[in-house]
Amino acid sequence: MSDTKSANAMWGGRFASGPDAIMEAINASIGFDKRLAAQDIAGSRAHAAMLAAQGIISDKDAEAIREGLLTVLSEIKAGTFQFSTALEDIHMNIEARLKEIIGEPAGRLHTARSRNDQVATDFRLWVRDQADAAIGGLEALIRALLDQAEAGADWVMPGFTHLQTAQPVTWGHHMMAYVEMFARDLGRFTDARARMNESPLGAAALAGTGFDIDRDMTAKALGFDRPMANSLDAVSDRDFALEFLAAASITAMHLSRFAEELVIWSSAQFRFVTLSDRFSTGSSIMPQKKNPDAAELIRAKIGRILGATMALFTVMKGLPLAYSKDMQEDKEQVFDAADTLMLALAAMTGMVSDMTANGENLEAAAASGFSTATDLADWLVREAGLPFRDAHHVTGALVAMAEAKGCDLADLSLGEMQEVNAAITEGVYDVLTVQASVASRMSYGGTAPARVREQIARWREALG
């Protein structure tokens, strides 16, 4: 397996021979960290400008470096850049190419810097972009949900507990429940973004540097709020990525729950919603089928995102300060989780925008399963003065009677009801409809259409 390649040009001064092929394979990250190219170049351009401003390198060299880096970036974007595994990672690939383009000044770029602060900076910038993308994706999804909620603020449907009919709710209320969840997710990405927005650049290998650098200048140039205050922490912290993954995991869990509801609701047994052809697929053998594949895939995507979260926690657990190569294992997981999340958000937004709720089916289902039994019990408390526990008991007896007769509560005659409790009057029928039931639930946060409309207006205003 030995390989007699020459030693690495970047760090091989003390090495007599190059790495074994297996060593090179396990060591190289260029296969995936090429995704950090734009961030790496932005970081290096900021660093070079700062070095010149501080008189550490000449303006002329800095200019050559900054221009040369733009050339490298355009080569990468054009797909003409030759990535090399022997050059390990994106940082050294770019620097080596820079040297080919501009010659000697390229060697001055790495003054007062290490790949440790470099990679921490690149990765933060990348994750920050993804936090912004997640925020944008969640906002789009929330808007789609608000449109659904508005269209169906009055439509009644069964509310479930244990997936058993519980009480009628409104379609708008159900959609708005997800607005609340996704808005909290959005808040988590916003919080994480604010916390991660500090610059590791200038922490150098781990201890800072003896050069008179200006970390505020590079932080500002890269859109960070400030430089990180501790160089050891700056190069070894990955909790910004973990926070991103945690927020992504919670979002994916919410997406998964909603996706599951869409799978159930679109089934022939429920027929609560019709998903659009654009977000469904057919079966190659059963011509009648229209499958909710997008919803099923979104339901499953949490596996990858949560897996990535677990993986990075496990990589970071027990690592002594400061940098260890273990931390090179931070990226692929986050890349995959971010890609997965953005796709799932986009697919859910498309599905929600396109889906049609079947109002009649929702209403018919809302009325089944004695869903207004609680309204009957509440009526007995209010109008007949019964303690709630007794009212519950009386209502239970009426449900049993209706069940035995195979009818709904509203189909029992007044005489039949009075056999169970003499205090019941004609007025009881007013509360037995699903419309009356939802309209009465005016408590703050309740399902009454008027309350739902207030919430829709509040969120529309908040989103601007």
Minimum separation from the CB atom of position 5 to ligand ARG (A): 19
The angle at the Cα of 93, spanning 91 to 98, to the nearest 5 degrees, equals: 95
Q: Which is nearer to ligand ARG, 115 or 174 (CB)?
A: 115
How many C-beta atoms surround the C-beta of residue 314 within 10 A? 12
Question: Which is closer to ligand ARG, CB of 29 or CB of 167?
Answer: 29
Instruction: Take residue 314 and report the two structure tokens written for it.
Output: 């496990």
Cβ proximity to ligand ARG, 126 vs 155, nearer residue: 126
Sequence-distant (6+) residues with CB within 8 A of 251 are 134, 138, 182, 185, 188, 341, 345
Q: Minimum distance between the CB of residue 33 and ligand ARG, rounded to whole angstroms?
A: 6
Q: How far is the CB of 269 from ligand ARG (least distance, A)?
A: 51
**Residue 442 backbone phi and psi in degrees, to 5:** -90, 5
Closest contact distance (angstroms) between CB of 330 and ligand ARG is: 7
199 Cβ contact partners less than 8 Å away, ≥ 6 residues apart? 121, 124, 215, 218, 219, 222, 224, 226, 227, 228
Measured distance CA(433)–CA(102) in Å, rounded:
80
Q: Is 276 a catalytic residue?
A: no
Active-site residue among 6, 74, 283, 368? 283
Complex with ligand ARG: residue 327 or 424, whichever CB lies closer: 327
Q: How far apart are the C-alpha atoms of 315 and 245, rounded to whole Å?
A: 14
What is the sign of the dihedral through the CA atoms of 328, 333, 336 and 340?
Answer: negative
Q: How far apart are CA 108 and CA 69, in angstroms?
A: 13
The count of other CB atoms within 10 Å of the CB of residue 317 is 8
Dig out the tokens for 278 from the structure: 């654009």
Selection from 382, 463, 393, 370 nearest residue 425 by Cα? 382
Shortest separation between residue 305's beta carbon and ligand ARG, angstroms: 21
Closer CB to ligand ARG, 84 or 425, in the complex? 84
Structure tokens at 293: 């594949």
The rounded distance, in Å, linking the Cα atoms of 123 and 238 is 9
Question: Is the Cβ of residue 20 or residue 383 nearer to ligand ARG in the bound state?
Answer: 20
How many other CB atoms are found less than 10 A from the CB of residue 449? 21
Select which of 162, 284, 413, 443 is catalytic: 162
- Does the active-site annotation cover 283? yes
Rounded to the nearest whole angstrom, what is the least distance from the CB of residue 195 to ligand ARG in the complex? Answer: 21
What's the closest the beta carbon of residue 325 comes to ligand ARG, in angstroms?
6
- Distance between CA atoms of 345 and 349, rounded to whole angstroms? 6
Q: Which is nearer to ligand ARG, 203 or 398 (CB)?
A: 203
**Under the rule (CB under 6 A), what is the footprint of ligand ARG?**
29, 33, 89, 115-116, 119, 323, 325, 327-328
DSSP per residue over 33-63, as a string? Answer: HGGGHHHHHHHHHHHHHHHHHTTSS-HHHHH
Distance CA 159, CA 367 (A): 11
- Catalytic residue IDs: 162, 283
